Structure 1
Amino acid sequence: MYKVFVNDSPIIITSSTKKENIFPVYSFKNIVFDEIIQQLSNKELQGINLYSTDLENDWKSFLSNIKVIPAAGGLVLNPKNEILFIFRNGVWDLPKGWIEKGETIEIAAIREVKEECGIANLHITKPLITTYHIYFHKGMKLKQTYWFLMTSKYKKELIPQTEEGITQVAFKNEAETKDALTNSYANIQLVYDTYKEG
Protein backbone atom coordinates (compact mmCIF):
# COMPACT_ATOMS: atom_id res chain seq x y z
CA MET A 1 0.00 0.00 0.00
CA TYR A 2 1.12 3.56 -0.74
CA LYS A 3 -0.27 6.68 0.92
CA VAL A 4 0.20 10.06 -0.75
CA PHE A 5 -1.11 13.19 0.96
CA VAL A 6 -2.53 16.23 -0.81
CA ASN A 7 -2.65 18.73 2.06
CA ASP A 8 -3.72 16.22 4.70
CA SER A 9 -6.08 14.23 2.45
CA PRO A 10 -4.76 10.79 1.50
CA ILE A 11 -4.63 9.00 -1.84
CA ILE A 12 -4.36 5.35 -0.81
CA ILE A 13 -3.11 3.08 -3.57
CA THR A 14 -3.76 -0.48 -2.49
CA SER A 15 -4.12 -4.03 -3.78
CA SER A 16 -6.32 -4.95 -0.81
CA THR A 17 -10.06 -5.30 -1.45
CA LYS A 18 -10.83 -4.77 2.25
CA LYS A 19 -12.42 -1.36 2.88
CA GLU A 20 -10.60 0.17 5.87
CA ASN A 21 -11.88 3.76 5.79
CA ILE A 22 -14.77 5.98 4.72
CA PHE A 23 -13.20 7.17 1.45
CA PRO A 24 -14.62 6.22 -1.96
CA VAL A 25 -12.95 3.39 -3.88
CA TYR A 26 -12.01 3.67 -7.55
CA SER A 27 -10.09 1.41 -9.87
CA PHE A 28 -6.59 2.79 -10.43
CA LYS A 29 -6.96 2.12 -14.17
CA ASN A 30 -10.06 4.36 -14.46
CA ILE A 31 -8.83 7.52 -12.77
CA VAL A 32 -7.81 10.82 -14.26
CA PHE A 33 -4.79 11.83 -12.19
CA ASP A 34 -5.23 15.63 -12.44
CA GLU A 35 -8.94 15.47 -11.58
CA ILE A 36 -8.27 13.56 -8.34
CA ILE A 37 -5.53 15.99 -7.28
CA GLN A 38 -7.86 18.91 -8.01
CA GLN A 39 -10.73 17.40 -5.99
CA LEU A 40 -8.45 16.69 -3.01
CA SER A 41 -6.86 20.17 -3.21
CA ASN A 42 -10.31 21.79 -3.25
CA LYS A 43 -11.46 19.56 -0.37
CA GLU A 44 -14.23 18.11 -2.58
CA LEU A 45 -12.81 14.74 -1.47
CA GLN A 46 -11.48 14.02 2.06
CA GLY A 47 -9.50 11.07 0.71
CA ILE A 48 -9.65 8.36 -1.92
CA ASN A 49 -8.81 4.66 -2.29
CA LEU A 50 -7.37 3.53 -5.62
CA TYR A 51 -7.66 -0.21 -6.05
CA SER A 52 -4.77 -1.71 -8.01
CA THR A 53 -4.39 -5.18 -9.54
CA ASP A 54 -0.65 -4.58 -10.08
CA LEU A 55 0.56 -2.40 -7.22
CA GLU A 56 4.22 -1.93 -8.15
CA ASN A 57 3.53 -1.09 -11.80
CA ASP A 58 0.64 1.21 -10.94
CA TRP A 59 2.84 2.99 -8.37
CA LYS A 60 5.50 3.52 -11.07
CA SER A 61 2.81 4.86 -13.37
CA PHE A 62 1.59 7.22 -10.60
CA LEU A 63 5.14 8.55 -10.10
CA SER A 64 5.58 9.09 -13.85
CA ASN A 65 2.83 11.76 -13.70
CA ILE A 66 4.72 14.00 -11.32
CA LYS A 67 8.16 15.42 -10.52
CA VAL A 68 9.57 13.62 -7.46
CA ILE A 69 11.67 15.63 -4.98
CA PRO A 70 13.62 13.34 -2.64
CA ALA A 71 14.06 14.47 0.98
CA ALA A 72 15.28 12.95 4.23
CA GLY A 73 14.72 13.60 7.90
CA GLY A 74 14.73 12.22 11.39
CA LEU A 75 12.68 11.40 14.43
CA VAL A 76 15.36 12.18 17.03
CA LEU A 77 15.30 10.87 20.60
CA ASN A 78 17.35 12.21 23.50
CA PRO A 79 18.38 9.97 26.47
CA LYS A 80 14.97 10.65 28.11
CA ASN A 81 13.22 9.35 24.93
CA GLU A 82 11.83 12.81 24.21
CA ILE A 83 11.24 13.67 20.52
CA LEU A 84 12.86 16.61 18.71
CA PHE A 85 10.32 18.93 17.03
CA ILE A 86 10.63 22.11 14.97
CA PHE A 87 7.99 24.84 14.76
CA ARG A 88 7.56 26.40 11.31
CA ASN A 89 4.65 28.26 9.67
CA GLY A 90 2.53 27.84 12.80
CA VAL A 91 2.83 24.02 12.74
CA TRP A 92 4.92 21.46 14.66
CA ASP A 93 7.01 19.34 12.34
CA LEU A 94 9.99 16.98 12.35
CA PRO A 95 13.29 18.17 10.85
CA LYS A 96 13.83 17.18 7.21
CA GLY A 97 14.99 18.60 3.90
CA TRP A 98 16.05 17.98 0.32
CA ILE A 99 18.76 15.51 -0.54
CA GLU A 100 21.61 17.33 -2.24
CA LYS A 101 23.42 16.02 -5.32
CA GLY A 102 25.96 13.34 -4.44
CA GLU A 103 24.60 12.80 -0.90
CA THR A 104 23.43 9.48 0.47
CA ILE A 105 19.97 9.50 2.05
CA GLU A 106 21.50 8.94 5.52
CA ILE A 107 24.01 11.80 5.20
CA ALA A 108 21.25 14.14 3.97
CA ALA A 109 19.00 13.18 6.89
CA ILE A 110 21.72 13.91 9.48
CA ARG A 111 22.78 17.15 7.74
CA GLU A 112 19.21 18.48 7.58
CA VAL A 113 18.50 17.70 11.26
CA LYS A 114 21.79 19.38 12.27
CA GLU A 115 21.09 22.48 10.15
CA GLU A 116 17.45 22.92 11.17
CA CYS A 117 17.96 22.30 14.90
CA GLY A 118 21.54 23.30 15.71
CA ILE A 119 22.16 19.86 17.17
CA ALA A 120 25.19 17.53 17.00
CA ASN A 121 26.19 13.93 17.91
CA LEU A 122 23.40 12.41 15.81
CA HIS A 123 23.34 8.66 15.25
CA ILE A 124 20.96 6.76 12.98
CA THR A 125 19.36 3.76 14.69
CA LYS A 126 17.30 2.48 11.75
CA PRO A 127 15.11 3.53 8.79
CA LEU A 128 11.49 4.21 9.84
CA ILE A 129 9.19 4.92 6.88
CA THR A 130 9.02 6.79 3.57
CA THR A 131 6.23 9.37 3.32
CA TYR A 132 4.78 11.12 0.27
CA HIS A 133 3.00 14.42 -0.13
CA ILE A 134 2.03 16.51 -3.11
CA TYR A 135 2.62 20.24 -3.04
CA PHE A 136 2.47 23.06 -5.57
CA HIS A 137 5.51 25.22 -6.25
CA LYS A 138 6.24 26.08 -9.91
CA GLY A 139 3.98 23.19 -10.85
CA MET A 140 3.02 20.03 -9.02
CA LYS A 141 5.70 18.15 -7.06
CA LEU A 142 5.76 15.01 -4.95
CA LYS A 143 8.02 15.17 -1.90
CA GLN A 144 9.28 11.69 -1.08
CA THR A 145 10.76 11.82 2.43
CA TYR A 146 12.93 9.03 3.86
CA TRP A 147 12.65 9.05 7.66
CA PHE A 148 15.18 7.63 10.12
CA LEU A 149 15.05 6.99 13.83
CA MET A 150 18.00 8.87 15.38
CA THR A 151 19.47 9.47 18.81
CA SER A 152 21.55 12.30 20.26
CA LYS A 153 23.03 13.01 23.69
CA TYR A 154 23.58 16.68 22.74
CA LYS A 155 23.04 18.85 25.83
CA LYS A 156 23.73 22.40 24.60
CA GLU A 157 21.15 24.92 23.50
CA LEU A 158 19.27 24.06 20.30
CA ILE A 159 19.30 26.77 17.63
CA PRO A 160 16.40 26.98 15.14
CA GLN A 161 17.37 27.66 11.51
CA THR A 162 15.46 30.94 11.25
CA GLU A 163 16.38 31.49 7.58
CA GLU A 164 14.29 28.35 6.88
CA GLY A 165 11.34 29.86 8.78
CA ILE A 166 11.91 27.71 11.88
CA THR A 167 11.09 29.70 15.02
CA GLN A 168 11.37 27.01 17.73
CA VAL A 169 13.20 23.73 18.31
CA ALA A 170 12.34 21.58 21.31
CA PHE A 171 12.49 18.06 22.71
CA LYS A 172 9.01 16.99 23.82
CA ASN A 173 7.93 14.29 26.25
CA GLU A 174 5.04 11.95 25.44
CA ALA A 175 2.25 14.28 26.61
CA GLU A 176 3.81 17.29 24.83
CA THR A 177 4.32 15.17 21.69
CA LYS A 178 0.66 14.13 21.62
CA ASP A 179 -0.29 17.80 21.98
CA ALA A 180 2.12 18.87 19.19
CA LEU A 181 0.68 16.19 16.87
CA THR A 182 -2.75 17.85 17.10
CA ASN A 183 -1.12 20.81 15.27
CA SER A 184 1.00 18.91 12.76
CA TYR A 185 0.74 17.09 9.42
CA ALA A 186 -0.78 13.69 8.65
CA ASN A 187 2.63 12.49 7.43
CA ILE A 188 4.25 13.37 10.77
CA GLN A 189 1.56 11.37 12.59
CA LEU A 190 2.45 8.47 10.28
CA VAL A 191 6.15 8.75 11.19
CA TYR A 192 5.30 8.87 14.90
CA ASP A 193 2.92 5.87 14.64
CA THR A 194 5.63 3.86 12.84
CA TYR A 195 8.12 4.71 15.60
CA LYS A 196 5.59 3.69 18.31
CA GLU A 197 4.90 0.37 16.56
CA GLY A 198 8.61 -0.37 17.00
Structure 2
Amino acid sequence: MYKVFVNELPLILTNKLSETSDGEYFLLNQESILAAIKALKKKKLAIAYIYHPNHEEILKKFTQEIPMIVAAGGVVTNQKGKVLFIYRNDKWDLPKGKLDKGESIEACAVREVMEETGVEGLRIENFLRTTYHVFNNSGKPTLKQVHWYAMKTDYTGKLKPEKKEGIVKVKWKGPNKIQKALQNSYNNIKILFEGD
Protein backbone atom coordinates (compact mmCIF):
# COMPACT_ATOMS: atom_id res chain seq x y z
CA MET A 1 0.00 0.00 0.00
CA TYR A 2 1.16 3.52 -0.83
CA LYS A 3 -0.38 6.64 0.67
CA VAL A 4 -0.14 9.58 -1.75
CA PHE A 5 -1.39 12.96 -0.56
CA VAL A 6 -3.36 15.22 -2.90
CA ASN A 7 -4.04 18.60 -1.23
CA GLU A 8 -3.54 16.85 2.12
CA LEU A 9 -6.15 14.16 1.33
CA PRO A 10 -5.08 10.52 0.89
CA LEU A 11 -5.04 8.71 -2.42
CA ILE A 12 -4.30 5.10 -1.49
CA LEU A 13 -2.66 2.78 -4.01
CA THR A 14 -3.64 -0.69 -2.87
CA ASN A 15 -3.80 -4.33 -3.94
CA LYS A 16 -6.46 -5.17 -1.33
CA LEU A 17 -10.11 -4.46 -2.08
CA SER A 18 -10.89 -4.80 1.64
CA GLU A 19 -8.98 -1.53 2.24
CA THR A 20 -11.40 0.42 0.04
CA SER A 21 -14.47 0.24 2.27
CA ASP A 22 -14.61 3.91 3.32
CA GLY A 23 -14.01 5.61 -0.02
CA GLU A 24 -14.39 5.39 -3.74
CA TYR A 25 -12.01 3.30 -5.79
CA PHE A 26 -10.63 4.00 -9.23
CA LEU A 27 -8.91 1.91 -11.84
CA LEU A 28 -5.23 2.19 -12.60
CA ASN A 29 -5.46 4.12 -15.87
CA GLN A 30 -4.78 7.75 -16.67
CA GLU A 31 -8.42 8.82 -16.92
CA SER A 32 -9.32 7.23 -13.57
CA ILE A 33 -6.19 8.53 -11.83
CA LEU A 34 -6.87 12.08 -13.03
CA ALA A 35 -10.53 11.77 -11.93
CA ALA A 36 -9.42 10.65 -8.45
CA ILE A 37 -6.89 13.51 -8.18
CA LYS A 38 -9.52 16.04 -9.33
CA ALA A 39 -12.12 14.73 -6.84
CA LEU A 40 -9.62 15.03 -3.97
CA LYS A 41 -8.44 18.50 -5.07
CA LYS A 42 -12.03 19.74 -5.17
CA LYS A 43 -12.69 17.98 -1.83
CA LYS A 44 -15.52 15.95 -3.38
CA LEU A 45 -13.95 12.91 -1.72
CA ALA A 46 -12.12 12.68 1.62
CA ILE A 47 -10.22 9.58 0.50
CA ALA A 48 -9.80 7.77 -2.80
CA TYR A 49 -8.32 4.39 -3.70
CA ILE A 50 -6.59 3.12 -6.77
CA TYR A 51 -6.78 -0.64 -7.00
CA HIS A 52 -4.41 -3.00 -8.77
CA PRO A 53 -4.03 -6.68 -7.83
CA ASN A 54 -0.20 -6.71 -8.02
CA HIS A 55 1.47 -4.72 -5.22
CA GLU A 56 4.91 -4.82 -6.92
CA GLU A 57 3.47 -3.30 -10.10
CA ILE A 58 1.14 -0.66 -8.66
CA LEU A 59 3.62 2.22 -8.21
CA LYS A 60 5.34 1.48 -11.53
CA LYS A 61 2.02 1.53 -13.39
CA PHE A 62 0.89 4.67 -11.54
CA THR A 63 4.08 6.51 -12.57
CA GLN A 64 3.56 5.46 -16.20
CA GLU A 65 0.41 7.60 -16.07
CA ILE A 66 1.57 10.39 -13.74
CA PRO A 67 5.20 11.54 -14.03
CA MET A 68 7.32 11.14 -10.90
CA ILE A 69 10.05 13.37 -9.46
CA VAL A 70 12.43 11.85 -6.92
CA ALA A 71 13.57 14.02 -4.02
CA ALA A 72 15.30 13.61 -0.67
CA GLY A 73 15.45 15.47 2.60
CA GLY A 74 16.34 15.31 6.24
CA VAL A 75 14.99 15.33 9.75
CA VAL A 76 18.05 17.04 11.24
CA THR A 77 18.76 17.01 14.97
CA ASN A 78 21.41 19.19 16.67
CA GLN A 79 23.40 18.52 19.88
CA LYS A 80 20.53 19.93 21.99
CA GLY A 81 18.07 17.48 20.42
CA LYS A 82 16.26 20.21 18.49
CA VAL A 83 14.96 19.56 14.97
CA LEU A 84 15.59 21.81 11.96
CA PHE A 85 12.49 23.29 10.27
CA ILE A 86 12.00 25.63 7.33
CA TYR A 87 9.08 28.00 6.75
CA ARG A 88 7.84 28.29 3.16
CA ASN A 89 4.42 28.95 1.55
CA ASP A 90 3.00 29.86 4.99
CA LYS A 91 3.71 26.35 6.33
CA TRP A 92 6.39 24.71 8.45
CA ASP A 93 8.24 22.12 6.42
CA LEU A 94 11.48 20.16 6.43
CA PRO A 95 14.36 20.75 4.02
CA LYS A 96 14.24 18.58 0.91
CA GLY A 97 14.73 18.84 -2.82
CA LYS A 98 15.03 17.22 -6.19
CA LEU A 99 17.60 14.58 -7.06
CA ASP A 100 20.23 15.76 -9.56
CA LYS A 101 21.21 13.49 -12.44
CA GLY A 102 23.88 10.99 -11.36
CA GLU A 103 23.55 11.91 -7.67
CA SER A 104 22.88 9.35 -4.93
CA ILE A 105 19.72 9.82 -2.88
CA GLU A 106 21.80 10.23 0.32
CA ALA A 107 24.02 12.90 -1.32
CA CYS A 108 20.88 14.71 -2.52
CA ALA A 109 19.40 14.74 1.00
CA VAL A 110 22.57 16.23 2.51
CA ARG A 111 23.03 18.78 -0.31
CA GLU A 112 19.43 19.97 -0.16
CA VAL A 113 19.50 20.42 3.63
CA MET A 114 22.73 22.44 3.32
CA GLU A 115 21.41 24.59 0.45
CA GLU A 116 18.03 25.31 2.04
CA THR A 117 19.25 26.01 5.59
CA GLY A 118 22.99 26.79 5.61
CA VAL A 119 23.60 23.95 8.09
CA GLU A 120 26.90 22.10 7.61
CA GLY A 121 28.55 18.99 9.02
CA LEU A 122 25.53 16.77 8.37
CA ARG A 123 25.77 13.04 9.09
CA ILE A 124 23.10 10.60 7.97
CA GLU A 125 22.10 8.32 10.85
CA ASN A 126 19.50 6.18 9.08
CA PHE A 127 16.76 6.07 6.48
CA LEU A 128 13.33 7.02 7.90
CA ARG A 129 10.72 6.44 5.20
CA THR A 130 9.48 7.49 1.79
CA THR A 131 6.53 9.86 1.39
CA TYR A 132 4.43 10.67 -1.67
CA HIS A 133 2.35 13.64 -2.73
CA VAL A 134 0.88 15.01 -5.95
CA PHE A 135 1.64 18.59 -6.93
CA ASN A 136 1.02 20.75 -9.97
CA ASN A 137 4.07 20.92 -12.23
CA SER A 138 3.43 23.41 -15.06
CA GLY A 139 -0.28 22.55 -14.87
CA LYS A 140 0.23 18.77 -14.88
CA PRO A 141 -0.27 16.54 -11.83
CA THR A 142 3.12 15.13 -10.84
CA LEU A 143 4.01 12.61 -8.15
CA LYS A 144 6.80 13.60 -5.78
CA GLN A 145 8.55 10.71 -4.04
CA VAL A 146 10.63 11.98 -1.09
CA HIS A 147 13.22 9.79 0.66
CA TRP A 148 13.71 11.02 4.25
CA TYR A 149 16.79 10.49 6.41
CA ALA A 150 17.46 11.11 10.08
CA MET A 151 20.54 13.34 10.29
CA LYS A 152 22.72 14.76 13.05
CA THR A 153 24.92 17.85 13.12
CA ASP A 154 27.12 19.71 15.59
CA TYR A 155 26.61 22.93 13.59
CA THR A 156 26.00 25.99 15.77
CA GLY A 157 26.47 28.68 13.09
CA LYS A 158 24.01 31.02 11.47
CA LEU A 159 20.97 29.56 9.73
CA LYS A 160 20.54 30.85 6.17
CA PRO A 161 17.13 30.36 4.53
CA GLU A 162 17.41 29.83 0.76
CA LYS A 163 15.31 32.82 -0.36
CA LYS A 164 15.24 31.84 -4.05
CA GLU A 165 13.43 28.64 -3.00
CA GLY A 166 10.81 30.70 -1.16
CA ILE A 167 12.15 29.80 2.30
CA VAL A 168 11.61 32.73 4.66
CA LYS A 169 12.72 31.18 7.98
CA VAL A 170 14.91 28.37 9.28
CA LYS A 171 14.54 27.42 12.97
CA TRP A 172 15.69 24.79 15.44
CA LYS A 173 12.65 23.55 17.38
CA GLY A 174 12.35 21.59 20.62
CA PRO A 175 9.47 19.16 21.40
CA ASN A 176 6.82 21.79 22.28
CA LYS A 177 7.60 23.99 19.30
CA ILE A 178 7.66 20.94 17.02
CA GLN A 179 4.10 20.05 18.10
CA LYS A 180 3.01 23.63 17.41
CA ALA A 181 4.76 23.70 13.99
CA LEU A 182 3.13 20.40 12.97
CA GLN A 183 -0.31 22.02 13.41
CA ASN A 184 0.65 24.24 10.45
CA SER A 185 2.46 21.69 8.30
CA TYR A 186 1.80 18.96 5.75
CA ASN A 187 0.52 15.43 6.41
CA ASN A 188 3.70 13.95 4.94
CA ILE A 189 5.74 15.91 7.49
CA LYS A 190 3.45 14.91 10.39
CA ILE A 191 3.92 11.23 9.41
CA LEU A 192 7.68 11.57 10.03
CA PHE A 193 7.04 12.47 13.67
CA GLU A 194 4.38 9.82 14.34
CA GLY A 195 6.68 6.84 14.44
CA ASP A 196 5.00 3.59 13.55
TM-score, length-scaled by structure 2: 0.91
Residues 98-177 of structure 1 aligned to structure 2 (within 5 Å): 98-138=98-138, 139-177=140-178
The share of aligned pairs that are identical, in percent, is 41
Letter in 2 for 1:184: S
- Residues 5 and 133 in structure 1, CA contact (< 8 A), matched pair in contact too: yes
What is the RMSD of the two structures over their aligned residues, measured on CA atoms?
1.9
Structure 1 runs not aligned, ≥5 long: none
Q: Is the 8 A contact 1:6 1:134 kept in 2?
A: yes
User: Does the 8 A contact of 1:85 with 1:172 survive in 2?
Assistant: yes
SS at match of 1:69: strand
Deviation at 1:33, TM superposition (A): 1.3
- Quick one: distance in 2 between partners of 1:23 and 1:157? 48
**TM-score normalised to structure 1 length:** 0.90
Q: Tell me, in whole angstroms, the C-alpha distance in 2 between the residues paired with 1:168 and 1:178.
A: 17
Give the equivalent residue in structure 2 for 1:24: 23
How far did 1:27 drift?
6.1
CA shift digits 1:56-94 (9 cap, x unpaired)? 112221111011111110000112221110001110000
Whether contact under 8 Å (1:71, 1:143) holds in the other structure is yes
Give runs of aligned pairs for residues 43-58 of structure 1, distance below 5 A: 43-58=43-58
Whether the 8 Å contact between 1:7 and 1:41 is mirrored in structure 2 is yes
User: Aligned-pair distance for 1:191?
Assistant: 1.9
SS in 2 for 1:32: helix
Report the number of matched residues: 194
Aligned AA (2:156): K
Change (3 A) 1:131 1:38: same
Q: Map of 1:62-81 to 2, 5 A cutoff?
A: 62-81=62-81
